[in-house]
Amino acid sequence: MGYIARFTPKGTIEQRPCSHEGIDHDSLDAFGYDWEQVGQPDIAPVYPSKIYLPQTTDELIAIIKEAHRLGEKLTIRSRGHSSNDLVLTRGAVLSTTRMNQVLAIDESAMTATLQAGVVSADVDDLLAKSGYGLPVIGDHNDITVGGFASVGGIGPASFRHGLFIDNVVSLQYVTFTGELIECSRSQRADDFYKVLLGLGQFGVIATMVCKFIKVDKYNTVLRNHRQVCHDVEAFIAGTEPLMRDPSGNYMIRAAWNDLGAVKLGHISAYRQTPQRGWKSLLDRSVYGYFHGLAQRAGTLPTAVDKVVKGLGTAGVFLPPHYATIKNVEFFSDRMVDSTVGDPTRWFIMLVPSQQYAEMFRQLYELACAFRARYECFSFVGMYVKVLRSEYLSSDPDQYYCEMNLLTGITERGIQPDELAELVDQIDDLCLHHGALRYMHTKTGKDPQRRSLLDPNAVRRRVPTARPQPAQVAVLHGK
């Protein structure tokens, strides 16, 4: 895992832990890649012919007007953690990474005004100094708020706080003709909902106002009421009730890992617990051990790296009984390096909780069938979280499962036609179950199918009464 050094806007060099030692986001070379390189390290780069690097909203408007005048199609990129060809182009790229300032913190309104390219974990750390934090944050320390808002944003507390976008109060974005638009739920609501989860298709988010909450993420310890399963049906039976009704819990994350000979699942339901010194000590020593191990991963000789990653992975397979909110949020980020060992590919969907069990079984069977037929996967993981979102459903009791099929790629690899076949079948399953795709991971390219799978497109089609799972099934012709 090691550290990456980065040159801050203030002109200082700052080091931060990095869970992908093998990938650099801060070089010209980085512009040729997205996260797909983690699943296919020998992938050919796609370099842009032009890169724009605005720092302010005024510069952003001027750049967009220039691009419009020149007839250039701009591709918006933050830090390239997506893997669905969203940030790659041979044409012009507009990078938001230098629009990375926290513009204001308003403690009376409990909101922060942020430039879109600021990294969400940095905002969280800044807020932590005053006893606050973002309600929803991803499990990686390098995701920007603009990128997160453009895909949705899910965390292990999303069943209480919604998606990241549900916590955006208002935003300013620049259309591709250069018009600055300010919008919120009460002002130009159609624009607001269109840009959120919009994958950079409708303009560039310049700034946004986000809610924060009172919370001490680094010192509040939660108790993990963990269940361990060796059988997939036991895992499904243990998770399904949580997907339907997670109330009473503080954070939830569960994972089923099938390594062929070894199969192991954990269901981690974190609840508040009386704060005691020994619980903090336990958290600090266990996580300190895992973080210490992982800091070296990615910097050691390959064989040693793999052993270190293996040891760190133990903490991901069997999360400890006590953890601070921050350690739950970051989960694997400081425990394993994604660029050590087998390449990995993710495919994520948003599944209505009523369909959870069936969808889980069918998706798992599909992945295992691919592994048997093509010998393309070294392991099959199924990572789940539960969420509800005002954006996805107007019914406050409608829960969704974020279902992440996480696969290890063998040396043989998965060939392009096999990958396309798998993605098509995943999309088919989603259409069948009224599920949506999380669009930053690989989806099919057919526009008609995408319009039924992309939460943003579905919401734009039915703006006033957001589709409920049953209606979505009707829309899908079921």
Ligand X SMILES: Cc1cc2nc3c(=O)[nH]c(=O)nc-3n(C[C@H](O)[C@H](O)[C@H](O)COP(=O)(O)OP(=O)(O)OC[C@H]3O[C@@H](n4cnc5c(N)ncnc54)[C@H](O)[C@@H]3O)c2cc1C
Question: Are the C-beta atoms of residues 164 and 153 closer than 8 Å to each other?
Answer: yes
222 contributes a contact to ligand X by CB under 6 A: no
Altogether, the residues listed in the chain come to a count of 478
Question: Are the C-beta atoms of residues 334 and 342 closer than 8 Å to each other?
Answer: no
116 contributes a contact to ligand X by CB under 6 A: yes
295 contributes a contact to ligand X by CB under 6 A: no
170 contributes a contact to ligand X by CB under 6 A: no
- Which one, 153 or 232, has the nearer CB to ligand X? 153
Q: Interacting stretch for ligand X, rule CB under 6 A, among 43-51, 71-79, 312-320, 446-454?
A: 71-79
State the nearest-atom distance from the C-beta of 457 to ligand X, in Å. Answer: 14
- Which one, 153 or 352, has the nearer CB to ligand X? 153
Q: 156: helix, coil or strand?
A: coil
State the nearest-atom distance from the C-beta of 156 to ligand X, in Å. Answer: 8
For ligand X, the binding residue among 1, 61, 143, 406 (CB under 6 A) is 143
The residue whose two tokens read 């931060």 is 16
135 contributes a contact to ligand X by CB under 6 A: no
200 contributes a contact to ligand X by CB under 6 A: yes
Q: Are strands 221-229 and 322-324 parallel, antiparallel or unpaired?
A: antiparallel
State the nearest-atom distance from the C-beta of 189 to ligand X, in Å. Answer: 18
204 contributes a contact to ligand X by CB under 6 A: yes
151 contributes a contact to ligand X by CB under 6 A: yes
Distance of CA 166 to the CA centre of its chain: 15
Of residues 229-258, those binding ligand X (CB under 6 A): none
For ligand X, the binding residue among 48, 133, 146, 246 (CB under 6 A) is 146
Of residues 75-94, those binding ligand X (CB under 6 A): 76-82, 86-87
326 contributes a contact to ligand X by CB under 6 A: no
Q: 42: helix, coil or strand?
A: coil
For ligand X, the binding residue among 440, 442, 449, 466 (CB under 6 A) is 440
Q: Which residue is nearest to ligand X (CB)?
A: 147
- DSSP 8-state assignment for residue 370: H
d(C-alpha 447, C-alpha 193), whole Å:
20
For ligand X, the binding residue among 135, 147, 162, 319 (CB under 6 A) is 147
Residue 311 CA: distances (Å) to CA of 307, 317, 332, 406, 432? 6, 10, 12, 19, 39
d(C-alpha 361, C-alpha 365), whole Å:
6
Buried b (16+ CB within 10 A) or exposed e, 312-330: bbebbebbbbbbbbbbbbb
State the nearest-atom distance from the C-beta of 358 to ligand X, in Å. Answer: 24
133 contributes a contact to ligand X by CB under 6 A: no
353 contributes a contact to ligand X by CB under 6 A: no
Task: Return left, alpha or beta for 21; rule: phi > 0 is left, psi -120 to 50 is alpha, else beta.
Answer: alpha
Strand order in the sheet with 377-387: 322-324, 221-229, 263-272, 251-258, 377-387, 400-409, 344-352, 436-437
- Which one, 232 or 455, has the nearer CB to ligand X? 455
Q: Which residues bind ligand X (CB under 6 A)?
A: 35, 76-82, 86-87, 96, 116, 138-140, 143-144, 146-148, 150-155, 199-200, 204-205, 338, 440
